């Protein structure tokens, strides 16, 4: 599934927001920051607001609309969007990394986990991809053979009808 970098509609906004939040949370420097239990709640909240603000900005919402929807002041939203907060900087960097394709595997893993699936190592995933390709190829071959048998059967039935007409 593609990351909606310029979301259209609520569902895409929420997908981008979630991906930005989780991808930022998994960054090593953020993991260090949230190890301190006293700081964790503040950081997670700030990152969530920054992710929500940036996702909505990319959808074309105005600062007042974003502030209203997220329940924060316009000043707070502007600071996150301009990167004047550490959370805003981190989420904006994450957005740029996603946009550049540098976090494709992380984003895929986040989407798998969000869908209730389990993570599969890259090597195993590649093996499964190859197996799927092999099975799809085999399936195409079998379909072609079945179609060929149908043609032969139709031809045979046509010949039987002609023979019956002659008798």
Over the stretch 57-86, which tens digit does the pLDDT of each residue have?
999 999 999 999 999 999 999 999 999 999
Beta-carbon contacts of 77 under 8 Å, excluding residues fewer than 6 positions away, are: 49, 53, 63, 66, 67, 70
Q: Record the pTM.
A: 0.65
SS3 85: coil
* Residue from 118, 71, 91 nearest 23 by CA: 91
pLDDT per position as a tens digit, 103-120: 887 777 777 666 666 666
């Amino acid at each position: 599934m593609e990351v909606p970098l310029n979301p259209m509609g609520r569902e895409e906004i929420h997908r981008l927001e979630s991906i930005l939040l989780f991808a930022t949370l998994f960054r090593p420097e953020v993991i260090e920051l949230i190890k301190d239990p006293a700081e964790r709640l503040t950081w997670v909240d700030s990152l969530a607001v920054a992710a929500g603000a940036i996702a909505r900005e990319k959808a074309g919402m105005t600062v007042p609309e974003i502030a209203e929807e997220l329940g924060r002041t316009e000043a707070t939203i502007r600071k996150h969007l301009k990167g004047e907060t550490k959370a805003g900087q981190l989420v904006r960097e994450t957005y740029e990394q996603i946009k550049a394709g540098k976090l494709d595997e992380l984003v895929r893993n986040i989407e798998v986990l969000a869908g209730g699936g389990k993570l599969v190592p890259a090597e195993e995933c590649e093996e499964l991809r190859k197996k799927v390709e092999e099975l799809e190829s085999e399936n195409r071959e079998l379909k072609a053979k079945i179609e060929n048998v149908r043609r032969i059967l139709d031809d045979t039935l046509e010949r039987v009808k002609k023979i019956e007409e002659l008798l």
